[in-house]
Amino acid sequence: MKKQNVLRIGCGAGFSGDRIEPAVILAEKGELDYLVLECLAERTIGLAQKRKMLDARKGYDPLLEKRIITLLPHLIKNNTRLITNMGAANPIEAAKKIIEIAQSQNVKIKVAAVTGDNVLETVLNNASSIHDLENNKPLSNYNIVSANAYMGAEPVIEALQTDALIIITGRVADPSLFLAPMIHEFGWKIDDYDLMGKGTVVGHLLECAGQVTGGYFADGVKKKVEGLDKLGHPFADVFTDGSAIISKVEGTGGVVNLRTAKEQLLYEVMNPHEYLTPDVIADFTTVKLKEAGKDQIHISGGNGKSKPSTYKASIGYKAFYLGEGEISYAGAAAYERAKLAADIIQKRLQHIFNDIRVDFIGVQSMHKTTFDHSGTPYEVRLRIAARAGSAEEAALVGDEVEALYTNGPAGGGGARKYVNEVIGIVSTLIERNTILPQVNIFES
């Protein structure tokens, strides 16, 4: 039974390809007020824009349909509202797809689609005068395919003020997806920056889903976690003062403790004194964590100060084509045969590619230095990769590796080849007044 004066928010996904099962458990058994699915990594929306360019009705998360079909009955039964950025590059078409699913299930719902994060036109029109943050190069140097600003909680709050069951967005800062329902339900003022900071801390701890419940934490040696095969995702009971208790559904795998919470608190944080979001500059150094019971962590503190004057925007651009080929060698002289195979490929491709990477997986692929083995490796997997200007050129890498079956060292097996157009990402800052969020309502 849902509690009075306490807001329960669950996180059912921490990236686009996350499992669906933990979200279903939260929606079915978590007694949630809100379920959030955070599915947009930096490069994800650039890839979504590529799909939209091929089909104007696409560009939303590939798993949207599967997730909504599974979750919708539980959302309706338990009166749980869903907030998600699965709209990616196309929130409008995503909303239409959700309505189509609702109609197929004979249920009446409203969906609010939040748009405005797409700043591609602004960026393209001013590419010579806007510079990236990484290299200080003008954006005109890049073959840009997407440009999306990280919006904050405000347009999501506007969507929540409707009676929409599902709010679907494009790019919104991860913690803002969680902060919005806190502001909406508790009536917080958006210029109360201490509350904005506290809510942002809670959102930051939840946003990566299974990380705070032990998934990313576990190493199998010093940090052992039970039940990772049935890992539960977290929820937070948030109180009106911005404090919260993070936990998970009883009976699910994983663990919530001080160690998992501390690791997630510092995840992707460059300056804990000034964690910048569109809503607030949060101070993570004032956060206090304490155990409140089995798989329960109490969070308090996390002050804030005025929000930044600009929005961060991620710029996706066509970087290059990647050609890859892999083949395995096992048994006597496996490493020597793999090195001979690499030498053959490099000699055959060096006149075509300037940048060829050779990895001996299991020996030195991570740090390019040979691991101190007690003996000769019994098995080695060779990986060859090169950057190319076209898909056809990139395919030559895998073709040459595959040809080693009969033209290279004996005993090669499991050859694999792959070609991919790589979308690169750089960041820039966009003036706030260039962003015009809109909320669009759809009904089944």
Q: How high is the pLDDT of residue 367?
A: 58
Query: Would you mind telling me the total number of residues written for the chain in this entry?
Result: 444
| Residue 396 per-residue DSSP state | H
Q: Is-contact 199 179, C-beta < 8 A?
A: yes
Tell me: the pLDDT tens digits for 333-353? Answer: 999 999 999 999 999 999 999
Question: At residue 118, does pLDDT exceed 70?
Answer: yes
Mean pLDDT lowest for which of 2-11, 115-124, 156-165, 352-361?
A: 2-11
Percent of the chain with pLDDT over 90: 93
Residues 6+ apart with CB under 8 A from 312: 149, 150, 276, 278, 427, 428, 429, 430
Q: What is the band of 42 on the pLDDT scale with cuts at 50, 70, 90?
A: confident
Instruction: State the Cα–Cα distance between residues 359 and 374, nearest whole angstrom.
Output: 20
Question: At residue 371, does pLDDT exceed 60?
Answer: no
DSSP per-residue letters across 274-299: -EE-SS-EE-GGG-EEEEEETTEEEE
Question: At residue 121, does pLDDT exceed 70?
Answer: yes
Q: What is the dihedral angle through the alpha carbons of 189, 193, 195, 200, rounded to the nearest 10 degrees? A: 110
CA of 385: how far to CAs of 345, 354, 389, 396, 419, in Å?
A: 10, 11, 13, 10, 10
CA of 363: how far to CAs of 4, 76, 323, 336, 376, in Å?
A: 57, 52, 22, 12, 10
Q: How high is the pLDDT of residue 428?
A: 98
Q: What is the dihedral angle through the alpha carbons of 189, 194, 196, 197, rounded to the nearest 10 degrees? A: 180
Token couple for 394? 């990139």
Q: Phi and psi at residue 174, in whole multiples of 5°?
A: -50, -55
Among residues 415, 418, 392, which one has the least CA distance to residue 323?
418
Burial of 288 (0-12, 13-18, 19+ CB in 10 A): exposed
Q: β-strands 81-84, 34-37: how paired? A: parallel
Among residues 127, 175, 121, which one has the least CA distance to residue 146?
121
Contacts 24+ apart (CB under 8 A), 281-287: 281/193, 281/197, 281/305, 281/306, 281/307, 281/308, 282/196, 282/197, 282/200, 282/201, 282/204, 283/197, 284/201, 287/201
Tell me: the pLDDT tens digits for 53-105? Answer: 899 999 999 999 999 999 999 999 999 999 999 999 999 999 999 999 999 99
Question: At residue 111, does pLDDT exceed 80?
Answer: yes
Q: Strand, helix or coil at 142? A: coil
* Mean pLDDT over the full length of the chain: 95
The dihedral built from the CA positions of residue 335, 341, 347 and 352, taken in this order, carries a sign that is negative
Q: How high is the pLDDT of residue 363?
A: 84
Instruction: State the Cα–Cα distance between residues 227 and 233, nearest whole angstrom.
Output: 12
Burial of 428 (0-12, 13-18, 19+ CB in 10 A): buried
Question: At residue 366, does pLDDT exceed 70?
Answer: no
Q: What is the band of 286 on the pLDDT scale with cuts at 50, 70, 90?
A: very high
* Average pLDDT for 367-371: 59
Question: At residue 267, does pLDDT exceed 60?
Answer: yes
CA of 152: how far to CAs of 114, 170, 194, 432, in Å?
A: 11, 11, 16, 11
- Domains of the chain, earliest start first: 6-116+151-308 (no CATH), 320-425 (3.30.70.100)
Q: Is-contact 400 418, C-beta < 8 A?
A: no
pTM over 0.85: yes
Q: What is the band of 377 on the pLDDT scale with cuts at 50, 70, 90?
A: confident
Q: What is the band of 407 on the pLDDT scale with cuts at 50, 70, 90?
A: very high
Q: What is the band of 374 on the pLDDT scale with cuts at 50, 70, 90?
A: low
Percent of the chain with pLDDT over 70: 97
Q: How high is the pLDDT of residue 2?
A: 60
* Average pLDDT for 210-221: 96
Tell me: the pLDDT tens digits for 145-156? Answer: 999 999 999 999
